[in-house]
Chain A
């Protein structure tokens, strides 16, 4: 029961990593990393359920939280080039339609 689920989840994590490594644009990579985190939360929840250790759900919640904050930080850094600013859109930083690489 446990092994097939773990294999499926780890396979999904591997595919997300492949997309993160060779994603053509920045947003592919960020989305892949975000999804990697989400699948990690799933792996933690599955192991909590199967191993009968509900403590792991606490860790999964913290992981989900850190995943959200980390993704927000990375997106803010790449959008504004500045982690601490208020991040207002003052001027367009690049021509319309140009993809970030």
Chain B
């Protein structure tokens, strides 16, 4: 929809702030509403807005589907990896206290890393859902246009 000047300009103005807001929600989850899931959804929403304006092909040039699939797995890997690291360091699975000298510091680090994993996984899965929906070819002969 690059013919629509308002949408194109507003999208160009808005998308960087949406991505920055996603990072804010990701990092600010300790003190306010937010966390990995919400941050992932917001980051994916920014990319989906780009996809709506410029088409899904342009979005797939920015974030290829292979990268999306890999990042979805990497997010889960970060989450489970933190658990395995705490196990190796002598704690329970996902017992963040073992990550640092003092348990409260360890919990800070652990929750941050786990939320990072959730954010990466959710953002890529949301984007994968958008790709699956938007890559679908429209029904021929103008059907469904009501």
Contact present for A69 and B56 (CB under 8 Å): no
Which of A15-23, A34-42, A53-61 contacts its partner?
Answer: A53-61
A95 interface residue per 8 A CB criterion? no
A72 to B14, CA, bound (A): 13
- Which listed residue, B1, B14, B53, B142, touches A81 by the CB 8 Å rule? B142
Q: Given A72-B7, A84-B51, A88-B3, answer yes or no on A55-B135 (Cβ-Cβ < 8 Å).
A: no
On chain B, the residues within 8 Å of A82 by CB distance are 137-138
A-B contact count (CB 8 A): 77
Closest partner residue, chain A, to B48 (CB atom): A69
Does A101 lie within 8 Å of B146, measured CB to CB?
yes
Interface pair B42/A84, CB less than 8 Å apart = no
Taking a contact as CB atoms under 8 Å apart, the answer to whether A73 and B52 are in contact is: yes
Residues of B near A83 (CB, < 8 A) are 52, 56, 133-134, 136
Contact pick for A86, options B7, B18, B57, B133, CB 8 Å: B57
